[in-house]
Amino acid sequence: MTGTHRKVLEVLSGKTLVPPPIWLMRQAGRYLPEYRETRASAGSFLELCYTPDLAVEVTLQPIRRYGFDAAILFSDILVIPDALQRNVRFEEGHGPRMDPIDEDGIAELSAEGVIGHLAPVFETVSRLRRQLPEETTLLGFCGAPWTVATYMIAGRGTPDQAPARLFAYRHPKAFDQLLAFLADISADYLVAQIDAGADAVQIFDSWAGVLGEEEFARYAVEPVRRMIASVRARRPSARIIAFAKGAGLFLKDYRRLTGADAIGLDWSVPLSFAAELQKDGPIQGNLDPMRVVAGGAAMESAIDRILDVLGQGPLIFNLGHGITPDADPENVAALVARVRGRR
Ligand SMILES: Cc1c2[nH]c(c1CCC(=O)O)Cc1[nH]c(c(CCC(=O)O)c1C)Cc1[nH]c(c(CCC(=O)O)c1C)Cc1[nH]c(c(C)c1CCC(=O)O)C2
């Protein structure tokens, strides 16, 4: 019964659909007036994430408006450090903050209570699976260990992830330990989301683009490989998308080395290279979110190029990163109509 006509799942298993299924990273968010309204009724951003009534509502908002082929659980990658008691806060206009972790803090990390702390997230997932249209794929997600670690080390978002890169060079053993710990706890988290009803999951490595060759292998590939192996050992049929933003040429072997079903591509990936990658397996991407803000011909021409070059192979149409708060909801409607109008 499950999954028979869920288009995103079909593409993840290698099928080509024309037109391709579509969803957008950060599709539930501040560009939508109904999101801003619900957001105002929650105290803090984390409260929104941990209140199933509200998290279900904001997840469904973009589905009602646009009928996307996938819904993505409304939560955040930083619920893992929150569950690890790193005192995570989202301060208005300043982005996330938490207590920076050091070598001693890494040695003391414990998985105890983490999955219990995240129980409201699993409740949200199971309610969503019951409330979503049968044909809509439900995506769970988590952050990749490297990206989550950049926030845990710095205690905040940074432009270049310099604190984490420096920490990794100065304390390589402790850093490896942190990434392995995050890989294992994140695997447990994904398994629990799948058991609650997620059809597939995405791993976000948003800051993979600052890593050199050796570091990409050690900090981006290995922990994600470890996480995926752990999920597959327990849930062999799990469908997994891995998105390493800014990874450039390292994407060549990323799918094979991590064991993901599909890889996400940002807008800096040339379409010719994307077409090469698509010969190995399904891809997702890669419209520049700024083109959605610009709208009109700037958006339409880029949609057409993606469909022309990648539309005859396994593709999940998406942006190359999250939609931004300044995007006009009308432009999103035009985007969906244009992708779906092409056969
Ligand atoms: C790096 C990262 C984070 N969170 C996430 C990532 C990886 C993807 C990416 O690179 O965009 C992932 C994420 N965050 C959010 C989702 C929800 C699902 C969806 O995609 O619709 C997802 C998948 C909601 C959110 N997460 C956040 C918001 C905005 C906060 C608000 O509404 O008050 C939303 C809708 C907050 C957040 N969360 C994070 C930051 C840096 C910020 C602050 C920046 C900002 O304000 O946009 C960390």
Q: Note the pLDDT of residue 2.
A: 52
Distance 273 CA to ligand 1 centre (A): 28
Q: Note the pLDDT of residue 102.
A: 98
How far is Cα 196 from Cα 276, in angstroms, rounded to an integer? 35
Q: Is the pLDDT of residue 149 over 80?
A: yes
Q: Residue 165: pLDDT band by 50, 70, 90 thresholds?
A: very high
Residue nearest to atom 22 of ligand 1 (CA): 76
151 pocket-lining for ligand 1 (C-beta < 6 Å): no
Q: Note the pLDDT of residue 202.
A: 99
Alpha carbon 339 to its chain's center: 21
Positive or negative, the CA dihedral 2, 59, 282, 333 is positive
96 pocket-lining for ligand 1 (C-beta < 6 Å): yes
Closest by CA to 143, choosing from 197, 101, 100, 185, is 185
Helix (H, G, I), strand (E, B) or coil at 97: strand
Q: Residue 4: pLDDT band by 50, 70, 90 thresholds?
A: low
**Domain ranges (residues) in the chain:** 7-341
Q: Note the pLDDT of residue 142.
A: 98
How far is Cα 68 from Cα 88, in angstroms, rounded to an integer? 31
Distance 26 CA to ligand 1 centre (A): 7
Residue nearest to atom 19 of ligand 1 (CA): 26
Q: pLDDT for 109-141, tens place per residue?
A: 999 999 999 999 999 999 999 999 999 999 999
Show which residues are catalytic: 26, 30, 39, 76, 151
Tell me what percent of the chain is helix, strand and coil, each rounded to the nearest 5: 55, 10, 35
Ramachandran quadrant class, 40 (left: phi over 0; alpha: psi -120 to 50; beta: rest): alpha
Pocket test for ligand 1, best of 44, 50, 61, 76 (most atoms within 8 A of CB): 76
Q: Report the 3 state secondary structure along 103-118.
A: HHHHHHCCCCCHHHHC
Q: What is the pTM of this model?
A: 0.97
| CATH of segment(s) 7-341 | 3.20.20.210
Residue 97 neighbours by CB distance under 10 Å: 18
30 pocket-lining for ligand 1 (C-beta < 6 Å): yes
Q: Note the pLDDT of residue 271.
A: 98
Q: Note the pLDDT of residue 198.
A: 98
Ligand 1 atom at minimal distance to the Cα of residue 35: 32
Q: Mean pLDDT over all residues of the chain?
A: 97
Ligand 1 atom at minimal distance to the Cα of residue 73: 18
Crossing angle between the packed helical segments 52-66 and 33-41, to the nearest 10 degrees: 170
Ligand 1 atom at minimal distance to the Cα of residue 95: 43
139 pocket-lining for ligand 1 (C-beta < 6 Å): no
Distance 76 CA to ligand 1 centre (A): 6
Q: Note the pLDDT of residue 92.
A: 80
Q: pLDDT for 153-163, tens place per residue?
A: 999 999 999 99
Ligand 1 atom at minimal distance to the Cα of residue 39: 32
Q: Residue 93: pLDDT band by 50, 70, 90 thresholds?
A: confident
For residue 262, what are the β-bridge partners?
Answer: 241
